């Protein structure tokens, strides 16, 4: 794919993922224009004035995905949209349910409509393991957003717009993740975890961004792309970050799972396994795309699920340290702000 002739827009572009994705675009792919679409003028100002993102190909566009008219104006002349904007803090979504619905579901619908209206060629939306068998509102809104993205390929009809999703697990060091919390707690000598049995999928920001770029290049429309990534035990993460600290179990929170899933048993029936990822194809016999993957990979066995508990790849304390240590100084500096 020739990125150099593309105009790329990132909703939620001032977030952790957005900045990493844009950094890779600037350093390696060199699109003709990058549009940062977000609602926070302060974050855009800070992003622009760091120097790293004060680049002649970047445009900063104030707007909210809840505002369809603003999206339509922003999408004019855009080739690729990466949809990352979301309310993602589980407690905040539980306490403000309609706000989560307006941003995560209605906002995603607005992205789809604006993309089709403006002839955007590719839309890639980011989802989460919490969308699989959701037990909290955040997961439920992301599941609904996934369904919107997949089914909306039918709306594109004979137009060129294609819409797909990526779905992966916890991102190390992203805003709101447990790593910054442990950095704050470490000086106290006590780290809190909710349950010592808890496991999670694990992916770095750069791995996530590179996966999204690769999926954009390969997408046909209607697929859900799931990377093969390692699992870890939360108690091992605590031991890696603070070996001498006391680990205090505080009890599982409302809306929290012991283990996360990336592919459910029902989804596995339409999923193709490749060497480094899974592709969940559209169910049934829809009149659109995303079914050619069956010739490129392997069908999954009956009863297959992909969870953080039954994963075949695990990070131990040493493996976690290998990932955490290079970024710990950066995270620690952000925690102090």
Residue 119 region, left (φ>0) first, then alpha (ψ -120 to 50), else beta? Answer: left
Q: Can you tell me the distance from the alpha carbon of 175 to that of 181, in angstroms, rounded to the nearest whole number?
A: 10
The answer to whether 153 and 290 have CB atoms below 8 angstroms apart is yes
* Cβ-Cβ contacts under 8 Å for 147 (sequence gap 6 or more): none
CB 40 within 8 A of CB 14: yes
**Among 19, 130, 142, 233, the one annotated catalytic:** 130
How far, in Å, are 55, 114, 204 from residue 76 at the CA level?
21, 9, 32
The answer to whether 6 is a known catalytic residue is: no
Torsion of CA 229, 234, 236, 240, to 10 degrees: 90
Which residue in 185, 178, 182 sits closest to 199, CA to CA?
Answer: 178
**Which positions are catalytic?**
130
């Amino acid at each position: 794919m020739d990125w150099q002739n593309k105009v790329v827009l990132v909703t939620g572009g001032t977030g952790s993922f957005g900045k990493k994705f844009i950094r890779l675009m600037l350093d390696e792919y060199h699109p003709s224009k990058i549009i940062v679409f977000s609602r926070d003028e302060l974050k855009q100002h800070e992003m622009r004035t760091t120097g790293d993102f004060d680049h002649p190909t970047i445009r900063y566009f104030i707007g909210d995905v809840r505002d369809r008219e603003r999206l339509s104006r922003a999408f004019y002349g855009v080739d690729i949209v990466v949809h990352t904007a979301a309310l993602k803090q589980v407690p905040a979504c539980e306490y403000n349910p309609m706000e989560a619905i307006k941003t995560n579901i209605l906002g995603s619908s607005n992205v789809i409509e604006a993309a089709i209206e403006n002839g955007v060629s590719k839309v890639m939306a980011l989802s989460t393991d919490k969308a699989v068998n959701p037990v909290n509102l955040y997961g439920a809104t992301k599941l609904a957003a996934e369904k919107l993205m997949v089914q909306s390929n039918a709306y594109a009809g004979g137009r060129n717009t294609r819409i797909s999703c990526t779905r992966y697990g916890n991102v190390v060091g992203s805003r709101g993740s447990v790593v910054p919390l442990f950095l704050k707690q470490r000086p106290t000598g006590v780290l809190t975890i909710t349950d010592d049995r808890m496991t999670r999928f694990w992916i770095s920001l750069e791995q996530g961004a590179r996966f999204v770029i690769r999926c954009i290049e390969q997408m046909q429309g209607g697929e859900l792309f799931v990377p093969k990534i390692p699992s870890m035990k939360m108690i091992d993460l605590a031991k890696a970050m603070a070996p001498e600290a006391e680990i205090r179990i505080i009890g599982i929170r409302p809306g929290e799972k012991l283990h996360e899933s990336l592919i459910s048993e029902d989804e596995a029936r339409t999923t193709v396994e490749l060497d480094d990822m899974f592709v969940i194809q559209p169910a049934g016999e829809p009149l659109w795309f995303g079914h050619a993957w069956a010739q490129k990979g392997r069908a999954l066995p009956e009863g297959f699920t992909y969870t953080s508990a039954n994963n075949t790849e695990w990070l131990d304390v040493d493996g976690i340290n290998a990932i955490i240590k290079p970024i710990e100084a950066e995270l620690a500096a952000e925690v102090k702000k």
